[in-house]
Structure 1
Amino acid sequence: MTLRKLTILPTGTEILLPAGSPLTEVEYETSQRLIPFGCRSGACGACVVQVLAGFDALGAPDDDELDFLEDLGRTGGDHRLACQCRLRGDATIRVVDDI
């Protein structure tokens, strides 16, 4: 099993997850609530993160996710909904808390 590293800022926490894992798996790896999750279907916006490194390692966003991020004012291409991402390589994200 290949493990990939996810670094979560601002805490600087590093989590190892099996390649292909959804980012929602983070909550099973630590008792801390590092990424807020709500609906888990890409409809609430609670889990918006800014991707600082490894954007391609999270899989490509679909049109629905991109449209919703635009509705939230998160244009420019460096934001994702964590619930829609699967970790395929190492990545660094920052939790967005000003939605």
Structure 2
Amino acid sequence: MVLNKLTLMPHGLEVLLPAGAPLTDLENETSHRVIPFGCQSGACGACVIEVLAGPDSLGEMDPDESDFLEDLGRADGNFRLACQCRLMAAATVQVAEEL
């Protein structure tokens, strides 16, 4: 099984997840609640993250996610909905600051 490293800033917390694992698996892998997952279906926006490194490591963004991020004012490409991401390779993220 291939494991990929997700680094969560600003804590510097490093978590290993199986390749292709959804980021929602973080809730089972750490006692720290570093990403506030809400609905887990991409409809609430609670889990907006800023991708600091490895944007291509989080899987393809589908049009619904892209449209929703645009509605939230986060359409510049550095932002994702964590609940819609799968860790394909190493990445570094942080919870997005509120606008």
Per the alignment, residue 34 of structure 1 pairs with 34
In 2, distance between residues paired with 1:75 and 1:22?
21
Per the alignment, residue 4 of structure 2 pairs with 4
Shift of 1:49: 0.2
Q: Secondary structure at the match of 1:94?
A: strand
1:82 aligns with 2:82: yes
Per the alignment, residue 93 of structure 2 pairs with 93
Per the alignment, residue 58 of structure 1 pairs with 58
Q: Secondary structure at the match of 1:61?
A: coil
TM-score between the two structures when normalised by the length of structure 2: 0.97
What is the letter of the counterpart of residue 36 of structure 2? P
Shift of 1:75: 1.6
Stretches of structure 2 that go unaligned for 5 or more consecutive residues are none
Shift of 1:25: 0.4
Per the alignment, residue 13 of structure 2 pairs with 13
Per the alignment, residue 71 of structure 1 pairs with 71
Q: What percentage of residue pairs aligned between the two structures are identical?
A: 65
In 1, distance between residues paired with 2:94 and 2:35?
9
TM-score between the two structures when normalised by the length of structure 1: 0.97
Q: Secondary structure at the match of 2:94?
A: strand
Q: Secondary structure at the match of 1:35?
A: coil
Q: Deviations over 1:46-94 (max 9, x none)?
A: 0000001111110010000000000000021110000000000000001
Q: Secondary structure at the match of 1:64?
A: helix
In 2, distance between residues paired with 1:75 and 1:81?
11
